[in-house]
């Protein structure tokens, strides 16, 4: 194989074929493992490059970004799939900052950038790119805010400054994924879920945008703004890509797996999967999760985690030492300014008139923010916005984990030392196994990474750890509880601001 035109590829089934033909601006495919959806996404990019307009020299120019949530997954999974079809010896492969494949051959000049979303700097880089189109690999691991930001980045690549009227053809956001849970943005869009007011606003805004864009001539008469495709269960007669899999593939992969895993990865149904080794095997949902009322006489304590999915846990600690996680905020790709506003609004809406005793966050927030013009730290920005938080006195993971594990294993007055209200839906799933150590594939041995996988479930659980550290839990590891920067401001009643 010497160029993209020589690839011998056939869609693995009718759903993948429909996905390849789709001209929707936001185009996604969901299916079981081994169903060929990632390869179909690769082919959709190569097909897209061949459809671009020719410049005066007869060359079709384009630029793409291929995105994955972490660099290890980008390297071992996404890049590996790409190089199966476009080896490094075709064109020029650069392995650093970010990895780039530049292919100039047979009238095609395409740049492909591989980008992970490990840090805020990575996210900032993605959201400043000028692209023809983008592929989001395993989209369930990507915040919707990133996908929203990408809508303004595709179709911006200018193939030629000498030809002002020559623009990329058909800007697209291409996505593939295994099935997410029913609380995920993919489910909301793909299934037209209008069960909540927030969901209705999302769906309505998408339909309104589609009508407006079509009226402006920016969408074709038969071109949808968004379109999602679902491949059949691997257990059905309609299963796709079977001819490219070894006999007994699914029988082997499902061996030893629980029904929740089989439901998502084999049957391709929406659901929640416990993957890896749970950080908190001490947690028992039937014991540690139940409804309870806020105690007006007790102050509110808050734990904060930052990053792509910033999170806050709002809790109380009874005089007998029992912790009660009452509510949560789980941001989706929001910045520190919006996060501060969400905290203030949540306090005003849910804890009006109650005192706030402690707000403790990830010590990494003491570093200067690269996104703040004044180069203030996250804690300084929060303080300026009325959220007077302090960093936890340690970021040692063992101490953090034990500060939550210890209350889980003790009984106080007939109740566990930590109760989690069902309103903390994401934290609850995290404690039940969503917050986990990733399994390392080393032959047949069961080995795991020494730090938990970062995902939507890890952030509220991390926030809970900082909450407990700030409250003095596991005091024999920490000399004294964390103190706020401005102690005189604590103890005031919440009245819309702090």
Query: What pLDDT shows up at residue 238?
Result: 95
Residue among 165, 137, 136 nearest 148 (CA): 136
Q: Given the DSSP bridges, would you call strands 277-278 and 390-391 parallel, antiparallel or unpaired?
A: unpaired
Query: What pLDDT shows up at residue 479?
Result: 47
d(CA 426, CA 432): 10
- Edge-first strand order for the sheet with 445-452 is 277-278, 436-442, 445-452
Query: What pLDDT shows up at residue 365?
Result: 83
pLDDT at 486 over 50: no
pLDDT confidence band for 478 (50 / 70 / 90):
very low
pTM value is 0.73
Query: What pLDDT shows up at residue 29?
Result: 98
DSSP class of 309: S
Partner residues linked to 111 by β-bridges: 63, 102
Q: Given the DSSP bridges, would you call strands 323-330 and 311-317 parallel, antiparallel or unpaired?
A: antiparallel
Q: 55-101 pLDDT, tens per residue?
A: 888 889 999 999 998 888 899 999 999 999 999 999 999 988 789 99
- Taking a C-beta distance cutoff of 8 angstroms, is the pair 131, 64 a contact? yes
Q: Given the DSSP bridges, would you call strands 92-94 and 100-105 parallel, antiparallel or unpaired?
A: antiparallel
**354: Cβ–Cβ under 8 A, 6 or more apart, which residues?**
294, 296, 299, 300, 493, 494
Mean pLDDT of 154-170: 77
- Edge-first strand order for the sheet with 100-105 is 92-94, 100-105, 108-116, 60-68, 133-136, 172-177, 26-30, 226-230
**Which SS3 state, helix, strand or coil, does residue 379 take?**
helix
**10: Cβ–Cβ under 8 A, 6 or more apart, which residues?**
none
The burial class, CB within 10 Å (0-12 / 13-18 / 19+), for 449 is middle
How high is the mean pLDDT of the chain?
86
- Taking a C-beta distance cutoff of 8 angstroms, is the pair 304, 310 a contact? yes
Query: What pLDDT shows up at residue 294?
Result: 96
**Which SS3 state, helix, strand or coil, does residue 103 take?**
strand
Q: How many CB atoms lie within 10 A of CB 241?
A: 21
Mean pLDDT of 5-19: 88
Q: 414-452 pLDDT, tens per residue?
A: 999 999 999 999 999 999 988 998 766 544 445 656 788
Q: 387-400 pLDDT, tens per residue?
A: 999 999 899 999 99
Q: How many CB atoms lie within 10 A of CB 351?
A: 21
d(CA 431, CA 408): 11
């Amino acid at each position: 194989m010497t160029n993209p035109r020589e690839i011998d590829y056939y869609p693995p089934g009718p759903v993948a074929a429909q996905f390849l033909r789709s001209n929707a601006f936001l185009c996604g495919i969901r299916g079981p493992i081994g169903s060929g959806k990632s390869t179909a996404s690769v082919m959709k990019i190569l097909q897209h490059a061949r459809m671009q307009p020719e410049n005066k020299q007869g060359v079709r120019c384009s630029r793409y970004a291929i995105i994955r949530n972490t660099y290890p997954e980008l390297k071992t999974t996404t890049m590996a799939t790409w190089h199966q079809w476009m080896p490094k010896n075709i064109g020029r492969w650069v392995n650093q900052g970010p990895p780039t494949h530049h292919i100039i051959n047979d009238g095609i000049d395409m740049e492909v950038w591989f980008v992970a979303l490990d840090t805020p700097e990575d996210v900032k880089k993605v959201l400043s790119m000028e692209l023809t189109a983008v592929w989001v690999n395993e989209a369930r691991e990507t915040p919707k805010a990133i996908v929203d930001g990408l809508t303004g980045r595709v179709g911006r690549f200018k193939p030629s400054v000498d030809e002002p009227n020559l623009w990329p053809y058909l800007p697209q956001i291409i996505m593939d994924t295994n099935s997410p849970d029913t609380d995920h943005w993919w489910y909301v869009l793909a299934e037209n879920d209008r069960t909540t007011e927030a969901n209705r606003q999302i769906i309505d805004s998408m339909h309104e945008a589609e009508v407006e864009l079509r009226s402006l001539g920016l969408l074709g008469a038969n071109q949808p703004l968004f379109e999602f495709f679902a491949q059949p269960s691997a257990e059905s007669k309609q299963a796709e890509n079977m001819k490219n899999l070894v006999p007994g593939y699914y029988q082997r992969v499902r061996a030893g797996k629980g029904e929740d895993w089989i439901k998502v990865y084999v049957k391709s149904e929406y659901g929640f999967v416990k993957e890896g080794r749970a950080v908190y095997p001490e947690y028992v949902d039937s014991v540690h999760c139940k409804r309870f009322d806020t105690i007006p006489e007790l102050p509110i304590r808050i734990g904060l985690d930052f990053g792509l999915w910033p999170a806050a846990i709002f809790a109380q600690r009874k005089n007998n030492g029992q912790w009660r996680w009452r509510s949560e905020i789980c941001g989706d790709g929001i910045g520190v300014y919006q996060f501060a506003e969400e905290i203030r609004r949540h306090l005003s809406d849910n804890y009006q008139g109650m005192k706030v005793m402690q707000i403790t966050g990830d010590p990494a927030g003491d570093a200067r923010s690269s996104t703040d013009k004044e180069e203030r730290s996250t804690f300084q920005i929060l303080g300026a916005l009325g959220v007077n938080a302090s960093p936890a006195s340690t970021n040692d993971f063992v101490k953090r984990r034990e500060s939550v594990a210890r209350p889980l294993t003790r009984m106080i007055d007939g109740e566990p030392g930590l109760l989690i209200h069902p309103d903390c839906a994401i934290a609850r799933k995290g404690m039940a196994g969503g917050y986990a150590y990733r399994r390392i594939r080393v032959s047949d041995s069961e080995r795991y990474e020494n730090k938990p996988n970062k995902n939507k479930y890890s952030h509220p659980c991390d926030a809970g750890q900082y909450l407990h550290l700030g409250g003095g839990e596991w005091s024999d590891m920490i000399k004294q509880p964390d103190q706020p920067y401005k102690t005189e401001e604590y103890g005031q009643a919440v009245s819309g601001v702090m």
